[in-house]
């Protein structure tokens, strides 16, 4: 065989190294080469052993081969619940790479970056319109970073009132980042058990708030079951009456853009995952962007700088005495902001609303298609995602993990597994608005076929996947004696 | 229907299957008073119209490409191999999610494993994570790691020569955690003041943080810092803002630093007006279970084939929730991939050659400054890599005049912080030609 077998595993780049190969050429040096021992003394370092020596062609082949071992959204449905894996438009990639945007140094004088500041200002206006909130900071680098930023603002607002409240209420259905972010903002987390319907327990909320010391409640709307919190406005009122704040996790914003408004719900802070709702690519693990929209009550505490408009000029404003300060270097993941605004412009008010509609339609279509074969533990009306469990398959010894692995054989990525924690054996499915009925049908067929296999030939499901580049991994071994880097 | 969405027939079929007459019925669970009457935004635009608007933004900016640029101060312009962007634009990479299903994510996982290896090699540490947001938040995560490791110790000692933005971010997080921050001044050479540092450390200190090269571009005395930190039982943390310096400077790892962290943007990542860049954190094996963020480890599949998987997840928020080592979830994976590609291309020879070329050009400019009667180095005795502080009482004025000649001479230190000595931070890289360097020196002479 002469060609490359795409089933053969590509070695590590370090293992491809061959002495004397180079993959670069720098501009000719026109000044004398300095002897670093003379200028830097003992701080000077020699060549780093074991860095690879490979040609440019080697590098292209290596990473191209690696790429083929990935499943990707471009290939098909990627129904990870609460991840909103929607189409990533190529025009956004093109625009983010315009030299007039991509090459800007963040410390150029303001008169040289008016276009960049205008773009940021426009994005803030658009997000204000979408959320119905007072202001938006574009700085946080991801959703969890946004949560932390929002919780720091709440902390600062309480301090400004001379209050030191320690408790943050988080429902047991929440994303793990919620309690973690609250703790890193200096709070203690009290977990609230959900109702039998999987929603916020109003009595528990009232009781917890009445006990005192509550700074905020963090809720996800719609919640991680894809169900709208019917009493969210009442929750806001209970909190506000007690001088506490409502933090909304906007991970599921795709469900209601253009339909409902977090501002009307009474939110004080809401992060927006641009890499979910607004199509910026997830990149195999980021970069994302997690702007935070705030109510007027939290506006004084926004991180610096903000982008302000002064006539037809835009400036970076640092004069915000009550600010929480800075939460990262510079002003935000600007290249992701470019993509998000391009998406908002491409969709417009009509496209944004039909985006939410399409997402909700698709989720309900999958629910309808799968509820005959899979158990639906919570039967409330689904918005953009639906959560099944594996209880019917467990009878045959097949778990949600087995089902996930078998789906890979059918050419699909798996749903989010074992989350939310209130559902045992959860399979959380979010199709997004990006797929036609034919693609959704193919997914339903695969899932139903797996349900049949679970009944008739469960060992097939338990052995899966068999068509992927590697079979099931020994994850215990990876954790027990971790090998986290290559060594010669 | 919109070009990114399914069509009218798709919708009809879905509605029929669900058994509802309209999409509106599916939103019935959202109370009427929470509804949005209207979205005050323009209607959707064609690709051509969107492109026109964004070209408009781009054209209102002036990019450093149009000038001789010596801007650094945390963001650097080095070689940008065409291959790196071409490869990260493969949909298989950039449209994939965090690799939760390893059997169909080996490309991303192996690339991260390679990234972790590169970071360990550059920093001479045992383990590195799969990336963090940026350099400033990486320093924060390092301090929080030290805070966990060092138990009840509630104070961190930080060199005043840390980048002021990094310091501000650190202050924000430390305030929330109740960690006290003590500042140690710089000495006449622009390096952390040894006597002051010796006085500042103590049994209540969890970490000592220096940036090297520091905000003045000066290389810190890492062995001294490591010894003082070790002496009081604190962790030594090195922040690195100009990552290509690791090609020429001994990293903290060799001197026993517990953490080397910072930003890898300098390895060809577009400046992008400040982000996304690529934070990194490397540490010793003994701290691995206190590390923040994702880690990829090697294992085997059922057939015994080598494969990679996210591991040690019990540190992370989705398992440990309120007790996690960090709240981070999404990191900067694609930027880590980008840097992995650039480091592969540069390799053993290029990492050093790039650093040596930048250093040589910077020394050429420094020599010009030294030989000028009008120009003054703020810290003539401080060894530097590729950036230095030119003393001047009116840096913004000088920068403005040089801009008119097509020279971005650097960054005013006063823009970073009023507490820094006034002057211009000049960063020189292999992208600067000799002619640009000469022109810079002549122009500086003229306006000084």
In this structure, what CATH number is given to the domain that contains residue B271?
3.40.640.10
Residues A322 and A275 reside in one and the same domain: yes
Q: Do the domain assignments include residue A309? A: yes
Considering only CA atoms, which of A165, A196, A185 is closest in space to residue A327?
A185
In whole angstroms, give the CA distance from residue A458 to residue A450.
9
Q: Do the domain assignments include residue A130? A: yes
In whole angstroms, give the CA distance from residue A199 to residue B434.
67
C-beta of residue B58 within 8 angstroms of C-beta of residue A101:
yes
β B279-283/B259-263 pair status: antiparallel
pLDDT at B37: 87
Residues A336 and A442 reside in one and the same domain: yes
Residues A58 and A97 reside in one and the same domain: no
Q: Minimal Cα distance from B62: which residue of A?
A: A112
Q: Do the domain assignments include residue B48? A: no
Cβ atoms within 10 Å of A240's Cβ, excluding its own: 15
User: What CATH number is attached to the domain comprising B437?
Assistant: 3.90.1150.10
Q: Do the domain assignments include residue A475? A: no
Cβ atoms within 10 Å of B155's Cβ, excluding its own: 20
Closest-CA distance, A2 to chain B, in angstroms, reads 23
Residues B302 and B164 reside in one and the same domain: yes
Cross-chain Cβ contact A259/B36 below 8 Å: yes
Residues A48 and A124 reside in one and the same domain: no
In whole angstroms, give the CA distance from residue A263 to residue A131.
6
Angle between helix axes A334-370 and B8-18 (nearest 10 degrees) is 40
Q: Tell me the pLDDT tens digit for each residue of B392-439.
A: 999 999 999 999 999 999 999 999 999 999 999 999 999 999 999 999
Q: What is the pTM (predicted TM-score) of this model?
A: 0.98
In whole angstroms, give the CA distance from residue B339 to residue A188.
38
A258/B contact by beta carbon, under 8 A? yes
All residues of chain A having their beta carbon less than 8 Å from the beta carbon of residue B246 are 45
pLDDT at B393: 97
Residues B212 and B92 reside in one and the same domain: yes
Q: Do the domain assignments include residue A369? A: yes
Which residues 363-422 of A have a C-beta within 8 angstroms of B? 364-365, 368-369, 380-381, 383, 404-405, 408, 413-414, 416-417, 419
In whole angstroms, give the CA distance from residue A58 to residue B344.
9
In whole angstroms, give the CA distance from residue B114 to residue B193.
38
Chain pair A-B, CB pairs under 8 angstroms: 704
Q: Print the domain residue range for A328.
A: 82-468
Q: Print the domain residue range for B305.
A: 82-340
Residues B97 and B153 reside in one and the same domain: yes
Contacts of B446 (CB under 8 A, 6+ apart): none
Supply the DSSP symbol for B249. B
Q: Exposure of A28 by Cβ count < 10 A (0-12 exposed, 13-18 middle, 19+ buried)?
A: exposed
Residues A283 and A412 reside in one and the same domain: yes
**Count of structural domains, chain B:** 2
C-beta of residue B370 within 8 angstroms of C-beta of residue B444:
no
Q: Minimal Cα distance from A145: which residue of B?
A: B328
Considering only CA atoms, which of B411, B37, B331 is closest in space to residue A263?
B37
A6/B contact by beta carbon, under 8 A? no
Residues A267 and A349 reside in one and the same domain: yes
**Count of structural domains, chain A:** 2
Q: Do the domain assignments include residue B155? A: yes
Residues A45 and A114 reside in one and the same domain: no
H helices of B124-243, where?
135-149, 164-177, 194-200, 222-231
β B235-240/B279-283 pair status: unpaired
- Which residue, chain included where needed, has tokens 């955690």? B177
Q: Do the domain assignments include residue A2? A: no
A56 pLDDT above the threshold of 80:
yes
Considering only CA atoms, which of A361, A133, A345 is closest in space to residue A226?
A361
Mean pLDDT for each consecutive 10-residue tract of chain B (448 residues)? 96 98 97 94 98 98 94 98 98 97 98 98 98 98 96 94 98 96 98 98 98 98 98 97 98 98 98 98 97 97 96 90 92 98 98 98 98 98 98 98 97 98 98 98 96
Residues A43 and A138 reside in one and the same domain: no
Residues A53 and A178 reside in one and the same domain: no
CA atoms within 13 A on the CB side of A164: 3
Considering only CA atoms, which of A138, A355, A115 is closest in space to residue B11?
A355
Q: Minimal Cα distance from A464: which residue of B?
A: B103
Q: Report the pLDDT averaged over residues A311-320.
A: 97
Cross-chain Cβ contact B42/A345 below 8 Å: yes
Residues A38 and A97 reside in one and the same domain: no
Tokens, residue B120: 């360990």
User: What CATH number is attached to the domain comprising A399?
Assistant: 3.40.640.10
All residues of chain B having their beta carbon less than 8 Å from the beta carbon of residue A51 are 118, 121, 343, 346-348, 351
Which of A31, A51, A70 is closest, CB to CB, to B92?
A70
Residues A294 and A381 reside in one and the same domain: yes
Contacts of A432 (CB under 8 A, 6+ apart): A84, A85, A86, A87, A254, A358, A359, A362, A384
Q: Report the pLDDT averaged over residues A189-194.
A: 96
All residues of chain A having their beta carbon less than 8 Å from the beta carbon of residue B56 are 115
C-beta of residue B103 within 8 angstroms of C-beta of residue A471:
yes
A2 pLDDT above the threshold of 50:
no
B249/A contact by beta carbon, under 8 A? yes
Q: Return the ∠ at Cα B193 (arms to B191 and B194), rounded to 5°.
A: 115
Q: Do the domain assignments include residue A1? A: no
All residues of chain A having their beta carbon less than 8 Å from the beta carbon of residue B112 are 285
Sign of the Cα pseudo-torsion (B267, B270, B273, B274, in order): negative
Burial readout B373-394 (b: 16 or more C-beta within 10 A, e: otherwise): eebebbbeebbbbbbbbbbbeb
Q: Do the domain assignments include residue A377? A: yes
Q: Tell me the pLDDT tens digit for each residue of A375-421.
A: 999 999 999 999 999 999 999 999 999 999 999 999 999 999 999 99
Q: Do the domain assignments include residue A191? A: yes
All residues of chain B having their beta carbon less than 8 Å from the beta carbon of residue A17 are 347-348
Residues A54 and A201 reside in one and the same domain: no
Q: Do the domain assignments include residue B107? A: yes
A244 pLDDT above the threshold of 90:
yes
Closest-CA distance, B375 to chain A, in angstroms, reads 20
């Amino acid at each position: 065989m002469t060609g490359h077998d795409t089933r053969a595993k590509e070695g590590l780049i370090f293992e491809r190294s061959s002495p004397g190969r180079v993959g670069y050429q720098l501009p000719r040096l026109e000044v004398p080469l300095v002897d670093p021992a003379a200028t830097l003394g003992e701080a000077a370092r020699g060549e780093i052993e074991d860095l690879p020596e490979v040609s440019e062609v080697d590098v292209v082949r290596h990473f191209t081969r690696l790429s083929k071992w990935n499943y990707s959204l471009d290939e098909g449905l990627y129904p990870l619940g609460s991840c909103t894996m929607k189409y990533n438009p190529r025009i956004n990639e093109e625009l983010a790479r315009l030299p007039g945007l991509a090459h800007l140094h963040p410390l150029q004088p303001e008169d040289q970056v008016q276009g960049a500041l205008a773009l940021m200002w426009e994005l803030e206006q658009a997000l204000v319109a979408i959320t119905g909130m007072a202001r938006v900071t574009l700085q946080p680098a991801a959703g969890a970073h946004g949560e932390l930023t929002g919780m720091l603002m709440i902390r600062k607002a309480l301090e400004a009132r001379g209050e030191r409240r320690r408790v943050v209420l988080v429902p047991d259905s929440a994303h793990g980042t919620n309690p973690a972010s609250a703790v890193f903002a200096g709070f203690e987390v009290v977990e609230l058990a959900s109702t039998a319907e999987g929603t916020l327990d109003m009595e528990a909320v009232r009781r917890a708030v009445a006990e005192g010391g509550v700074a905020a409640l963090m809720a996800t709307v719609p919640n991680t079951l894809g169900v709208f919190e019917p009493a969210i406005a009442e929750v806001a009122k209970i909190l506000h009456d007690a001088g506490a704040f409502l933090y909304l996790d906007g991970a599921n914003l795709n469900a209601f853009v253009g339909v409902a408004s977090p501002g009307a719900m009474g939110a004080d802070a809401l992060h927006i995952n641009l890499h979910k709702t607004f199509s910026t690519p997830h990149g195999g693990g980021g970069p994302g962007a997690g702007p935070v929209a705030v109510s007027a009550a939290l506006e004084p505490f926004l991180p610096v700088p903000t982008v302000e408009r002064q006539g037809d000029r835009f400036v970076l404003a640092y004069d915000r005495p009550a600010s929480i300060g800075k939460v990262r270097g510079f002003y935000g993941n600007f290249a992701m902001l470019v993509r998000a605004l391009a998406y908002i412009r491409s969709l417009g008010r009509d496209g944004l609303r039909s985006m939410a509609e399409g997402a909700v339609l698709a989720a309900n279509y999958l629910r309808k298609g799968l509820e005959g074969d899979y158990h639906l533990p919570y039967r409330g009306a689904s918005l953009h995602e639906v959560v099944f469990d594996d209880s019917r398959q467990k009878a045959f010894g097949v778990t949600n993990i087995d089902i996930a692995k078998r789906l890979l054989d059918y050419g699909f990525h798996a749903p989010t597994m074992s989350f939310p924690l209130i559902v045992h054996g959860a399979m959380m499915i979010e199709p997004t608005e990006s797929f036609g009925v034919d693609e959704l049908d193919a997914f339903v067929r695969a899932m139903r076929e797996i349900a049949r296999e679970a009944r008739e030939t469960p060992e097939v499901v338990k052995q899966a996947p068999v068509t992927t580049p590697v079979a099931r991994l020994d994850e215990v071994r990876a954790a027990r004696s971790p090998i986290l880097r290559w060594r010669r | 229907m919109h070009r990114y969405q399914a069509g009218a027939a798709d919708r009809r079929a879905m509605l029929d299957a669900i058994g509802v007459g309209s999409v509106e019925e599916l939103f019935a669970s959202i109370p009427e008073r929470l509804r949005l009457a209207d979205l005050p935004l323009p209607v959707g635009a064609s690709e051509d119209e969107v492109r026109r608007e964004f070209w408009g933004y781009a054209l209102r900016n002036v990019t450093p490409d149009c000038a001789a640029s010596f801007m650094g101060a945390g963001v650097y312009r080095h070689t940008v191999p065409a291959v790196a962007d071409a490869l990260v634009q493969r949909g298989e990479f950039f449209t994939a999610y965090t690799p939760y299903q390893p059997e169909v994510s080996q490309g991303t996982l192996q690339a991260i494993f390679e990234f972790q290896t590169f970071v360990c090699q550059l920093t001479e540490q045992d383990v590195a994570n799969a990336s963090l947001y940026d350099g400033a938040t990486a320093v924060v995560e390092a301090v929080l790691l030290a805070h966990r490791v060092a138990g009840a110790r509630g104070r961190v000692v930080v060199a005043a020569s840390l980048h002021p933005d990094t310091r501000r971010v650190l202050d924000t997080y430390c305030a929330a955690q109740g960690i006290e921050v003590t500042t140690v001044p710089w000495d006449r050479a622009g390096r952390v003041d040894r006597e002051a540092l010796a006085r500042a450390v103590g049994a209540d200190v969890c970490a000592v943080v220096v940036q090297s090269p520091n905000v003045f571009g000066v290389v810190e005395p890492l062995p001294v810092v490591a010894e003082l930190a070790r002496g009081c039982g604190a962790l030594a943390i090195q922040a690195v803002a100009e990552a290509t310096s690791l090609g020429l400077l001994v990293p903290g790892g060799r001197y026993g630093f517990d953490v080397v962290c910072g930003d890898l943007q300098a390895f060809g990542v577009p400046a992008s007006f400040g982000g996304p860049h690529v934070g990194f954190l490397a540490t010793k094996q003994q701290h691995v279970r206190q590390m923040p963020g994702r880690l990829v480890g090697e294992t085997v599949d059922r057939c015994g084939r080598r494969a990679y998987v996210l591991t040690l997840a019990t540190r992370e928020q989705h398992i440990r929730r309120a007790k996690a080592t960090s709240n981070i979830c999404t990191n900067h994976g694609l930027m880590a991939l980008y840097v992995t590609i650039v480091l592969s291309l540069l390799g053993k020879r290029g990492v050093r050659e790039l650093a040596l070329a930048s250093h040589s050009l910077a020394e050429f400019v420094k020599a010009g400054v030294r030989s000028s009667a009008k120009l003054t180095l703020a810290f003539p005795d401080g060894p530097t890599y590729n950036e230095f502080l030119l003393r001047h009482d009116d840096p913004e004025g000088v920068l403005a005049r040089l801009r008119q000649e097509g020279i971005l001479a650097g960054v005013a230190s006063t823009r970073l912080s009023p507490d820094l000595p006034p002057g211009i931070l000049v960063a020189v890289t292999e992208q600067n030609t000799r002619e640009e360097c000469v022109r810079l020196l002549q122009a500086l002479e003229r306006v000084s």
